[in-house]
Amino acid sequence: MPRVATLLPFGLIVLSVLAAVLLILRPEGLPRLRTLRTELSYVTRSNRTLRREIEDLRWQVRSLQNEPEAIERVARDELGLVRPDEIIFQFGQFEERPER
């Protein structure tokens, strides 16, 4: 009987260590943790980029609300508008001639 009393705790410890190793190596264990860490890193970078874009858009909105020059710049650059007293010159693309 004393031998069983000694082996039982040792057997439980060995069984617990084996169970822990098996749980860690299961697909839901360590491999899943690595996948989630990679995904978290990607999402964090993506969020950082989106925050920068949001700040840029907020800056553009503030400038469009407060600066007439900003509105004119958008009208010229993005909409192609000109003032009534301006003259537009359009030139074709310049092509270099091959040397003889």
Q: Which stretches does DSSP call E strand in 60-99?
A: none
Residue 24, helix vs strand vs coil: helix
pLDDT tens figures, 9-37:
888 888 888 888 777 777 777 788 888 99
Interatomic CA distance for residues 44 and 41, integer angstroms: 5
How many angstroms separate the Cα of 20 from the Cα of each of 7, 9, 17, 44?
20, 16, 5, 31
Amino acid 2: pLDDT: 64
In the chain, what percentage of residues exceed pLDDT 70? 97
pLDDT tens figures, 55-94:
999 999 999 999 999 999 988 888 888 888 988 888 887 7
Cα 8 off chain centre by: 53
How many Cβ atoms from other residues are within 10 Å of residue 36's Cβ?
Answer: 10
Residue 97 has pLDDT above 90, yes or no: no
Sorted by where each begins, the domain ranges of the chain are: 2-77
- 41 pLDDT tier (thresholds 50, 70, 90): very high
Amino acid 1: pLDDT: 58
Any idea what DSSP says for residue 87?
A: -
